[in-house]
Amino acid sequence: MTLPDKRDDFPAMKFLNFQLPSFEIAGRKLVGRVGFGLLAIIAAFLGTMAGLLIVYSTDLPQIGDLERYRPSTITQLYDSNGRVIGQFALQRRVLVTYDDFPKVLRDAIISTEDKSFERHWGINFWRVFGATYRDVTSGSRAQGASTLTMQLSRNLFLSPERHFSRKVQEAMLAMQIERHFTKEQIFTLYSNQIFLGSGVYGFEAGAQYYFNKHARDLKLEEAALLAGLPKAPANYSPVNFPDRALKRRNLVINNLLEDGKITAEEASRAKQTPVRLNIQQEYSPAPYFVEEVRRHLEKKFGSDQVHEGGLRVYTSLDLDLQKAATHAVMDGLAAYERRHGWQGHLKNIIALGEKTDKYQEPEWNQPLEAGSYVHALVLDVGLQFAKVKMGAYSANIGPAELAWTKHKLPKQIMSLGDVVYVKVLALNNDGTARVSLEQDSGAQGALLAIDNATGDIKAMVGGRSYDESKFNRATQAQRQVGSSFKAFVYTAAVDQGATPDDLIVDEPTTFNSNGTPYAPHNFDRRFAGTITLRRALAESRNVPAVKLAQKIGMATVSDYAKRCGIISTIPPFLPSALGAADLNLFEQTAAFTVFPNDGLRIEPRYIRKVTDYEGHVLEEDFPDARDAVSARTARTMVTLLQGVVQHGTAAAARKLNHPVAGKTGTTNDYTDAWFIGFSPSITAGVWIGFDEKKALGKDETGGHTALPIWIDFMRSALADPALKTEAFLAPINDHKKNATAVRRAAVALPRTGAGDPEAH
């Protein structure tokens, strides 16, 4: 059997033999076309991407900007011992280093925000592709997939708007950041920059605000709560939405467990712990002082630098003395209020249309402590006790607290919804407190203390409550200073040659004051006859002071007052010799420092030094001294003003058992009460009165009203053992004394304290 020759004998094979070349050609053409199409698509894609990169990169910031980047940070104020007393900020942020963030916090942030942070180079492509697919299929804008580095680039340089172009720019910046910075640097930048709600930026500031501790001291559950906030600070706020914050915190804890960063036991224990916040209150123990510093800083450096530049301001204030000054003023006002009996006139919030469960006093945002004076809301009035609340604390007011009011039952003086004034005596762990019922009739007080040697302002109280009134009565209130001004009359007389033992006649006298008859009288309506200048000043006799002023001239008296630092205008009339001029506590107190300073006028200062965040000194203030009066005059005035304490209107200050001197001041109708006094090391001034010029009440003199506050403060100021042996410099005797005058002075000076015969 003969087989066909190849494919010629088989028609089908002939057909195949004929068609095969055609399929090969077609296949090759198809592959070529597909390949060309793919290349064209890839080229178009790459071209488009290149174009997009060019377009989106034109407006990108240079990465060098990040190397010089300094975020807005808190300007902090420190007292003379380095304790924080206040701060200014638009963004609450505290910059720290990588090592200041504990491992538990770093793990919590990475496990929640960017698990591959340590491995990627700025972009997690799998997350990007996933997010892009979701965006395309859902038709929504670009979202999600951001690494820590991408979030950092967005927060630093880009807008928060969500669109594709921003996402591209975000990714490009992230890659640049990864090229120029280490992972530790990137994490530190991110952790200092991220917003955590409530005006807080960065995890250090977040730890301080939410838990009142440093980030390095955070526990697992606290770190997890903070790590959960960057996604949506408003939605997961532990302040406004504690339930959401708890769920979010536990999710972060689960992430840590899944990543093997914590054990199951640690996770279980942390999740069972409730959210416990310890919100850091924006509170300053010296608000009037801090405000004065702010004004100075803004005038010199500008508002932006003060509120965003992270300045470090080292002030003159002593926090311990500031607290002593505040307590002294508040206790003195309370004593004044009690002397004048219960006035009533309580505000009732229900009558004003408010609800008791919603009511909030500004003071309640400040930390309560024993010794604080606050307003409290009456929640219930029973037969024997009334229940009041002060923020998170409650207290009872009963018969013992009412005793001074001359009422026995709470319902006699208060009702539901009344706002009463109380002093916090003790705070208990169960949220209850022990208080005393006080009264706020509107009387105000101010105190200023200055270090004699340096001019440092050590304490400043500008009023009863900064929350209720920002008006600083230590620096802004112009009031008649009463007989405390006599110190400058006697200074002028001594510098003109008068001596403490010179004699002067205290008798009824009518003076010609610029063409107007003027007949001053003494407080006790009596006249002492011939007395020494020492006794005249000690007992604050008015006629001798006016006689001295007339003899040397009011223009000369005004000149000496200005040499000592008085800058307010002093009317050229004889009543000014008795304090009819309007001055403020600041200038009056500062002027008195000339006497213990041996005649030197040292300008008061609030600030010792200001540095920027890196520590570069921007301002340094050194004591500025100039001669005001001679040393002989200053030392003579010290002895004269010591007589006020030893024998005169300020005799109560002898109880300090310390060398002190000063001068009381009382104005007509008891509208203002003053005491300005000093030791060898510190000078302090106290003023008491109403903002409107109305009487404090009968016998509310400088010695009776202001002096006790001064004594209370000085007791703390002189407690330093190093001051126990301090003494005033001895007088300079460069002239002969009249022996007869000395003997007369010894007889004339009684050892008992006189009243306060000084109102003119």
Return the active site residues. Answer: 113, 483
Give the count of beta carbons closer than 10 Å to the beta carbon of residue 63. 16
Measured distance CA(740)–CA(252) in Å, rounded: 91
- Quote the tokens at residue 648: 């005169």
Measured distance CA(516)–CA(491) in Å, rounded: 26
Q: What are phi and psi of 751, to 5 degrees?
A: -90, -5
Contact 619, 644 (CB under 8 A): no
Give the strand pairing for 312-315 and 75-78: parallel
Name the DSSP class of 702.
I
Measured distance CA(452)–CA(597) in Å, rounded: 6
Report the candidate in 566, 729, 541 with the shortest Cα–Cα distance to residue 636.
Answer: 729
- Residue 39 burial (10 A CB sphere; 0-12, 13-18, 19+): exposed
Contact 435, 401 (CB under 8 A): yes
Contact 259, 111 (CB under 8 A): yes
Contact 483, 665 (CB under 8 A): yes
Give every CB contact of residue 9 below 8 A, 6+ residues apart in sequence.
Answer: none
Q: Which residue has the tokens 């991407």?
A: 49
Report the candidate in 530, 524, 526 with the shortest Cα–Cα distance to residue 502.
Answer: 530
For residue 3, give the amino acid letter. Answer: L
- Residue 238 burial (10 A CB sphere; 0-12, 13-18, 19+): buried
Instruction: Output the 3-class SS for 548-599.
Output: HHHHHCHHHHHHHHHHCCCCCCCCCCHHHHHCCCEECHHHHHHHHCCCCCCC
Which uninterrupted H or E stretch holds 532?
strand 529-532
From residue 309, alpha-carbon distances to 90, 495, 754 in Å are: 10, 50, 56
| β-bridge partners, 110 | none
Instruction: Output the 3-class SS for 253-300.
Output: HHHHHHCCCCCHHHHHHHHHCCCCCCCCCCCCCCHHHHHHHHHHHHHH
Report the candidate in 557, 588, 561 with the shortest Cα–Cα distance to residue 676.
Answer: 588
Give every CB contact of residue 568 below 8 A, 6+ residues apart in sequence.
Answer: 478, 581, 582, 583, 584, 587
Measured distance CA(280)–CA(199) in Å, rounded: 12
- Quote the tokens at residue 45: 């894609």
Give every CB contact of residue 553 below 8 A, 6+ residues apart in sequence.
Answer: none
Give the count of beta carbons closer than 10 Å to the beta carbon of residue 86. 23
Alpha helices in 432-584 (DSSP H): 486-495, 533-538, 542-552, 554-563
- Quote the tokens at residue 548: 């001295």
C-alpha dihedral sign at 451, 452, 455, 457: positive
Give the strand pairing for 347-348 and 312-315: unpaired
Alpha helices in 58-163 (DSSP H): 64-67, 103-113, 125-138, 148-157
C-alpha dihedral sign at 2, 6, 10, 11: negative
